[in-house]
Amino acid sequence: MSFLQDPSFFTMGMWSIGAGALGAAALALLLANTDVFLSKPQKAALEYLEDIDLKTLENEPRTLKAKELWEKNGAVIMAVRRPGCFLCREEAADLSSLKPKLDELGVPLYAVVKEHIKTEVKDFQPYFKGEVFLDEKKKFYGPQRRKMMFMGFIRLGVWYNFFRAWNGGFSGNLEGEGFVLGGVFVVGSGKQGILLEHREKEFGDKVNLLSVLEAAKMIKPQTLASEQK
């Protein structure tokens, strides 16, 4: 048992423990930056989206079925993760840059939020050039609601998105729930269906604007669709 009295034995043991802990941390960091632990999104059916109850954010709010948003002319809809998030504001501004082209196509731009607190939606409006609705039951964030918790803060992609938005001059706050991930939909008129469905896989995972525009060009206004039957 003389080896127990040898200081180098304990030094080697502590070094081994430290190396093991470092290796485990490195492995965890590596895995956190893959898609292994990300929950896979479930595609939404048109019937699922059509039946969602939305509320307007007027002084006297009214409730409507989501299908009213796209029934005649289709729609581009952003499911906002959190209005005060500077990453969400960046994507809202990006989508709003398409507004002139969407107007030419006759396709409206909308957003839905999952909560309406303080002045969050009002402060979001300068970044988003469309009407905003309240989805209290968070249906646009389903059918399988996905969350990204604190793992998001060790993902390199998220930090890249942070710096991109910061460099773009966007700022925000920490008000409201921001872990349930959002997305963007392009929905055709009538029963044309969902033409594009982008589900945010991590904080700041933006939709491809060219894909949004291409999908919007596929929308057939309801009157034209009826004539072609």
How much is the pLDDT for 157? 86
Separation between Cα atoms, residue 68 and residue 66, nearest integer Å: 5
Sole residue written with tokens 């920490």: 174
Residue type, 77: I
Sole residue written with tokens 């992609």: 157
How much is the pLDDT for 8? 52
Sign, Cα dihedral of 62, 124, 102, 143: negative
CA 99 to each of CA 86, 93, 182: distance values in angstroms, whole numbers, following the listed order = 20, 10, 20
Residue type, 138: K
Per-residue pLDDT of the chain (229 residues; tens, 9 = 90+): 454 454 554 455 554 555 455 444 444 444 455 555 556 778 999 999 999 999 999 888 999 999 999 999 999 999 999 999 999 999 999 999 999 999 999 999 999 999 999 999 999 999 999 999 999 999 999 898 888 877 767 788 889 999 999 999 999 999 999 999 999 999 999 999 999 999 999 899 999 999 999 999 999 987 654 555 4
How much is the pLDDT for 38? 59
**Closest by Cα among 149, 150, 217, 154 to 188:** 217
Q: What are phi and psi of 94, to 5 degrees?
A: -65, -45
Domain spans in the chain, listed from the N-terminal domain onward: 46-218
Question: Is 24 considered catalytic here?
Answer: no
How much is the pLDDT for 35? 59
Which one of the listed residues 49, 69, 85, 87 is annotated catalytic?
A: 85
DSSP the chain: -GGGG-HHHHHHHHHHHHHHHHHHHHHHHHHHTSSTTSPPPPPPPHHHHHT-EEE--SSS--EEETHHHHTTT-EEEEE-S-TT-HHHHHHHHHHHTTHHHHHHHT--EEEEES---TTHHHHHGGG--SEEEE-TT-GGGTTTT-B--GGGGG-HHHHHHHHHHHHTT------S---B--EEEEE-STT--EEEEEE--STT-PPPHHHHHHHHHT---HHHHHHT-
CATH topology of domain 46-218: Glutaredoxin (3.40.30)
Which one of the listed residues 88, 184, 196, 219 is annotated catalytic?
A: 88
How much is the pLDDT for 24? 45
Question: Is 85 considered catalytic here?
Answer: yes
**Closest by Cα among 117, 128, 130 to 173:** 117
